[in-house]
Amino acid sequence: MQVVLLGTAGSGKTSLTITLQQWLKEKYGFSVRVINLDPGAENVTYTFDYDIRRMVSVRDLMIKENLGPNGATLKAMEIIQRRFSEVEVVLSRLQEGADVIIYDTPGQMEVFVFHPSGPFILNKLRKIRSTVGVFLIDPWLLNSPSGLAAALLLSVITKLRMSVPIVLVVSKSDLVNKSFVSKLVSEPDFLAKEIEKEDIGTLKDVASELVKLIANVPWVQRLIFTSALSKDGLDELYSLLHEAFCTCGDLT
C-alpha cells in the first residue's frame, strides 16, 4: 500500500505522516517507509527513508538562481519531474519488505495538484504499487459552512487531477465541532440551509451549486477526524485506507 498525503499548507501533512508511520509500526508491526516529496520542507527534524531534497531543494535554488520562493518551488518541481526516473530507482529498492509507504507532499497544495509534475508523479507511483490519496482539511477551512463546501470542492478537484482514490481527513480534529461538521457533510440540504444564513451576498448562488456537486459525489460525504497529537481517528483512517485496496471495498 502507498499512501500520499495531500492538502493545503499548514493542514498537518508532515505531522500525520510521522504519526501514522509510528502508529502502524506499533499497532500492526508493519514495515513502513516514509518519503519526502516536498523540496521546500524546512525545520523538519524527522529522518525520511528518502528525501527529495537530496536531489533539489527550494532553498538552494533561491540562493543559486536568485529566485523567489514561488519561482524556486516551481523550478524544483520541474527538476523532479525531469529526473523522476532516478527517484523511481530508489523507490523500487524501498518497496522491498515494505508493508506501507507514506509520501509527504509539498506544503503548497497547488504546486503539486495543479502543476503537471503532481499528476505525473502520482501516475508513476500508481504503476509501482496501488496508491491512495489522503486529503487533509485544515480546521480553519471549517470555520463556516461555505468554507467547508470550498474544502470539499478542493478534494473533488484533487481527485480529478490525480486519478487515485481519495480519503477525506480533518486534521487537528480537537479544534473542530465534529458533530456539526459531520452533519453538514452527510446532509447536503442542511449544509445548503446553513450557507443561506451566511452574509456572502451573491456568492450564495455559487455556494448552492457547490452543495449540489457535493450531494452527487458520495465519497465526499465520508469524513474522518484525526489528531496527530492524540492519534484519534487513526483506526478509522486505516480501515478506510484498507478498503481502498480491497476488491469489495466501498469508499462511499
Q: Mean pLDDT in runs of 10 for the chain (252 residues)?
A: 90 90 95 95 86 95 94 95 96 94 91 92 92 90 85 88 88 87 86 83 74 76 84 92 63 45
pLDDT (0 to 100) of residue 247: 42
3, 134 contact by CB (below 8 A): yes
Domains of the chain plus CATH, in order, are 2-244 (3.40.50.300)
Question: pTM of this prediction?
Answer: 0.90
pLDDT (0 to 100) of residue 252: 43
Beta strands of 17-99 (E only): which ranges? Answer: 32-36, 50-51
pLDDT (0 to 100) of residue 220: 64
How far is it, in rounded angstroms, from Cα 232 to Cα 20? Answer: 11
114, 108 contact by CB (below 8 A): no
The residue among 40, 39, 44 whose CA lies nearest residue 14 is 44
Amino acid sitting at position 60: D
SS3 of 128, please?
helix
Beta strands of 2-73 (E only): which ranges? Answer: 2-7, 32-36, 50-51
pLDDT (0 to 100) of residue 245: 67
State the DSSP string of 176-234. S-HHHHHHHHH-HHHHHHHHHTS--TTHHHHHHHHHHHHHT-GGGG-EEE--TTT-TTH
